[in-house]
Amino acid sequence: MLEGLMQDDFPLTLQHPLERMRSCHPGAQVVTLTDSGIVRAGFGEVCERIDRLARALGSLGVEQGDRVATFAWNNQRHFELYMAVPCVGAVLHTLNIRLFAEQLTYIVNHAQDGVVFVDGSLIGILAPLAPTFESVCTYVVMGEGDLDALPNALGYEDLLARAGSDSEGPFQYPELDERQAAALCYTSGTTGNPKGVLYSHRSISLHSTAALMTDALGLSQHDRALVVVPMFHANAWGIPHGAALAGADLVLPDRFLQAEPLAKLIEAERPTIMGCVPTIFADLLRYADEHDVDISSLTNAACGGSAVPEKLMRDFEERHKVNVFQAWGMTETSPVASYSRPPETGAHDDAYWTLRAKQGKPLPWVAARLVEDDGAHTPWDGSSTGELEVRGPWVTSGYYNDESGEDRFDEGWLRTGDIASIDEHAFIQITDRAKDVIKSGGEWISSVELENELMAHPDVIEAAVIAKPDEKWAERPLCCVVMREGAAADAEGLVEHLRDRVAKWWLPDEFAFVSEVPKTSVGKFDKKILRKRLSEDALEGRVKVRA
């Protein structure tokens, strides 16, 4: 082999974006919404605090490879931890604040977290669990909060003040290897125990570089990114790291995630980019429809986590001049792996929207393929489906200290558990998660497509479709829907609406009119709970209908 002569040993670590924040973009801002209004800090000031935090981590005994947990909302201090912890060679472990107590205990003990940084507003949730954590020696409370509620607790600002700054000379960050672990995030454990995905400096560096591509999030120094997707879930889609690298402003809503404060924050701070799940976008749309509020600064919003209804994107564009693009990914893929940006050919016609509503092209450096049950590869014809498998430098190669996930890998490819087709433009379309597929009379019905078509009905607010056992067909779709108050349509009306839109044998023969579709800890429809209610005969509002 004739080796290239480039500086291939320049490490792709988060110390580089940290340095860029300091030297290239000291004036970029971190904006946090708090109880007492907006708090702003420039990247220059934030870097000084990150240096002090880095020094403080040393004083707490944190060493390279140690896991440092956070239990926090999206705010400036959480961002400081996002940078400081990996840059000293430790591992930032973001805990999902909405998990059940037993899952949190399992995760903290499995990760062997030594220090936990907790928002004062969340102490009430964490404190009762502290006795169950085996490895935690120190808690650091961020913002106002009762330190006495936790054993061995310190205040964040005290810690930083004591860590000093310039008088001791600039903080010397250690030299790191790009393959070194930088962050840890557990999947929400829909089957079995949650599993840890251990990101490296290299994987986060490359994934955040992808966030700057115009065919992906397109984050630049001219953007302001409103991060609604939680920083405790899958690196907040890489937006904080991407903003550090690009020099984009960060707008962080802390715990104010309802439509009203979000809409007001958008109107006041004029973010250009926002990332969040469809359920929150849907709430925001309803609010913006009903109130006089200007959210049109959002020219480049990203939505994902579950399928994004086409109507939601169209309504945002037509009524509020807001562009919402769809991304697909998983905790295991850092998470962004595909992005839907169809070519702009002028008018946004039906063909354009059909592509926009798909999950999009695999990002550069992400390889994708579809595999059938017998191992055959599915052609990219836009209709044949198979399990989506992906490979790439920001896709996990295994789970942290856990052998039980080995069946998720197929010769080095990650089996995503998503059923999809890929068309001749290389646009992926997820038709279902394997475990949500409805198998009726030997054929598959896509719950995702039925949901999208139902949510396109003006009277439907939410729709989640699950399989109902059926003697004749094995399974039939049961549509759980939330209707708008005072809605005119009933079950028959909804079937009529679907009649021209889906195959005849997909037409549901039963609905459940529910007051709300239960959500998971990250705001996705929780079909597990709906299935459980169905099996216990506890699903409300069931109505049979002749298709």
Binding site for ligand ADP (CB under 6 A): 187-188, 190, 234, 304-308, 326, 328-331, 359, 416-418, 430, 433, 524
Of 234, 429, 407, nearest to 334 (Cα)? Answer: 234
Q: How far is CA 467 from CA 159, 214, 440, 524, in A?
A: 53, 39, 9, 18
**Nearest CB to ligand ADP, comparing residues 12 and 185:** 185
CB of 257 to ligand ADP, least distance (A): 17
**Nearest CB to ligand ADP, comparing residues 190 and 397:** 190
**Nearest CB to ligand ADP, comparing residues 161 and 434:** 434
**Nearest CB to ligand ADP, comparing residues 308 and 422:** 308
Report residue 237 as tokens. Answer: 């889609």
Of 347, 367, 356, nearest to 327 (Cα)? Answer: 356
CB 428 within 8 A of CB 328: yes
CB 357 within 8 A of CB 308: yes
Report residue 310 as tokens. Answer: 């086409």
CB 362 within 8 A of CB 428: yes
**Which residue is at the shortest CB distance from ligand ADP?**
188
439 part of the active site? yes
396 part of the active site? no
* Catalytic hit among 439, 496, 505, 540: 439
102 part of the active site? no
**Nearest CB to ligand ADP, comparing residues 264 and 519:** 519
CB of 338 to ligand ADP, least distance (A): 8
CB of 486 to ligand ADP, least distance (A): 31
Question: How does DSSP assign 36-102, residue by residue?
Answer: TEEEEEEHHHHHHHHHHHHHHHHHTT--TT-EEEEE--BSHHHHHHHHHHHHTT-EEEE--TTS-HH
**Nearest CB to ligand ADP, comparing residues 31 and 390:** 390
Q: Which long-range contacts (CB under 8 A, 24 or more apart) does 483-489 make?
A: 483/459, 483/513, 484/458, 484/459, 484/460, 487/459, 487/460, 488/459, 489/457, 489/459, 489/460
* Catalytic hit among 80, 178, 332, 387: 332
**Nearest CB to ligand ADP, comparing residues 141 and 197:** 197
331 part of the active site? no
Residue 413: strand pairing partners: 410
CB of 447 to ligand ADP, least distance (A): 11
* Catalytic hit among 13, 187, 378, 416: 187
CB of 217 to ligand ADP, least distance (A): 14
CB 440 within 8 A of CB 475: yes
CB of 169 to ligand ADP, least distance (A): 42
* Catalytic hit among 353, 365, 380, 444: 444
* d(C-alpha 410, C-alpha 375), whole Å: 10
Strand order in the sheet with 361-362: 37-42, 29-34, 249-252, 224-227, 273-276, 301-303, 324-329, 336-339, 361-362
SS (H, E, C) 151-164: CCEEEHHHHHHHCC
CB of 143 to ligand ADP, least distance (A): 27
CB of 209 to ligand ADP, least distance (A): 21
* All residues at 6 or more sequence positions from 311 whose CB lies less than 8 Å from its CB, including other chains: 452, 455, 456
**Nearest CB to ligand ADP, comparing residues 31 and 308:** 308
Catalytic residues: 187, 332, 439, 444
